[in-house]
């Protein structure tokens, strides 16, 4: 069974590379091997944020929720797949990919696309990642469909929407979905053990000003069948982030 520590993804929801590196330097030695690079950090720092995490030895969950026309999303997932093996050549004014570099660092481990983009977009997203990975001879990242944000209300309409989105993701061939713990057990029952479930909004206690309504504890998420648990603010706002990780792990029954 996968250790609980290996299921935790710390969200680097900060606005500078220096802050992000600070948390990786603290938490990687504490056992956190997965870090989320989302819209805030990626907009501020671009691919360098991904490269920084990988250089530390950790893996990257690239959570940009790609949602656009199929051609654009296919190109985006392809670019995301090759982030760690590509550099910008100023002389040529273009991106240069090096297969040799691919042996020095793992590719993006997992990335998100938004299921609201529809069937053809999801197919294109998967195709872009598969083709790029094959061309570089590197593993394809997991492509995970975002179903509904955890800031959405928890009601029957939300659960129905999430289930429909997950069925589409499964039919297309995506590796799994992002969903709240309130839908995770339903996903596991419906789609089996091989369908990856990523659960955001993991909390230890209520966070002041929290805009996420469908939150859960680590124990609740694991019991529901989640494979990966995304936690950000409870760790990032703590005086001692490493101790919060220990606190989270102590909550889990041995």
The answer to pTM > 0.75 is: yes
Closest by Cα among 188, 176, 220 to 202 = 220
Q: Collect all residues with Cβ–Cβ distance below 8 Å to 190 and sequence separation of at least 6.
A: 163, 166, 167
Domain 4-251 maps to which CATH number in 3.20.20.70, 3.40.50.11750, 3.30.60.50, 1.10.357.10?
Answer: 3.20.20.70
* Structural tokens at position 57: 């030895």
Sequence-separated (6 or more) residues with CB below 8 Å from residue 48: 17
**What angle in degrees, to the nearest 10, is found between the helix axes of 241-251 and 17-27?**
50
The pLDDT value given to residue 93: 62
Two tokens, residue 244 = 């919060």
Low-confidence ranges of the chain (pLDDT < 70): 1-2, 85-107, 149-156, 205-215, 251-254
Rounded CA separation 176/160 (Å): 17
Please give the pLDDT value at position 37: 98
* For the chain, domain boundaries: 4-251
Q: Output the six-digit token pair for 8.
A: 């935790």
What SS3 string covers 75-107?
HHHHHHHCHHHEEEECCCCEEEECHHHHCCCCC
Q: Tell me what pLDDT residue 158 has.
A: 78
Between the alpha carbon of residue 163 and those of residues 63, 173, 197, the distances in Å are: 20, 15, 12
Report d(CA 67, CA 145) in Å as an integer: 10
Distance separating alpha carbons of residues 15 and 176, to the nearest angstrom: 28
Count of beta carbons in the 10 Å neighbourhood of residue 40: 15
Known catalytic residues? Answer: 65
Length of the chain: 254
DSSP-derived secondary structure letter, 110: E
DSSP designation for 216: B
Q: What is the pLDDT of residues 57-116, one digit of tens each?
A: 999 999 999 999 999 999 999 999 988 765 555 566 665 555 544 444 456 999 999 999
Q: What pLDDT is stored for residue 62 in this prediction?
A: 97
Q: Looking at residue 98, what is its pLDDT?
A: 55
């Amino acid at each position: 069974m996968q250790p609980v520590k290996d299921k935790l993804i710390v969200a680097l929801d900060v606005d500078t590379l220096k802050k992000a590196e600070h948390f990786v330097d603290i938490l990687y030695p504490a056992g956190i091997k997965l870090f989320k690079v989302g819209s805030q950090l990626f907009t501020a720092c671009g691919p360098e944020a991904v490269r920084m995490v990988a250089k530390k030895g950790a893996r990257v969950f690239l959570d940009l929720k790609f949602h656009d026309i199929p051609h654009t999303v296919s190109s985006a997932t392809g670019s995301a797949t090759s982030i760690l093996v590509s550099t910008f050549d100023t002389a040529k004014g273009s991106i240069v990919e090096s297969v040799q570099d691919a042996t020095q660092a793992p590719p993006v481990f997992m990335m998100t696309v938004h299921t609201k983009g529809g069937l053809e977009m999801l197919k294109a997203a998967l195709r872009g990642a598969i083709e790029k990975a094959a061309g570089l001879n590197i593993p394809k990242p997991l492509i995970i469909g975002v179903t509904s944000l955890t800031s959405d209300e928890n009601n029957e309409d939300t659960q129905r929407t999430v289930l429909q989105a997950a069925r589409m993701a499964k039919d297309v061939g995506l590796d799994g979905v992002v969903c709240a713990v309130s839908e995770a057990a339903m996903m596991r029952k419906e789609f089996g053990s091989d369908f990856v479930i990523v659960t955001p909004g993991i909390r230890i206690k209520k966070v002041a000003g929290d805009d996420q309504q469908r939150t859960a504890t680590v124990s609740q998420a694991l019991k529901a069948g989640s494979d990966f648990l995304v936690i950000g603010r409870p760790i990032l706002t703590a005086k001692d982030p490493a101790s919060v990780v220990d606190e989270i792990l102590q909550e889990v029954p041995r």
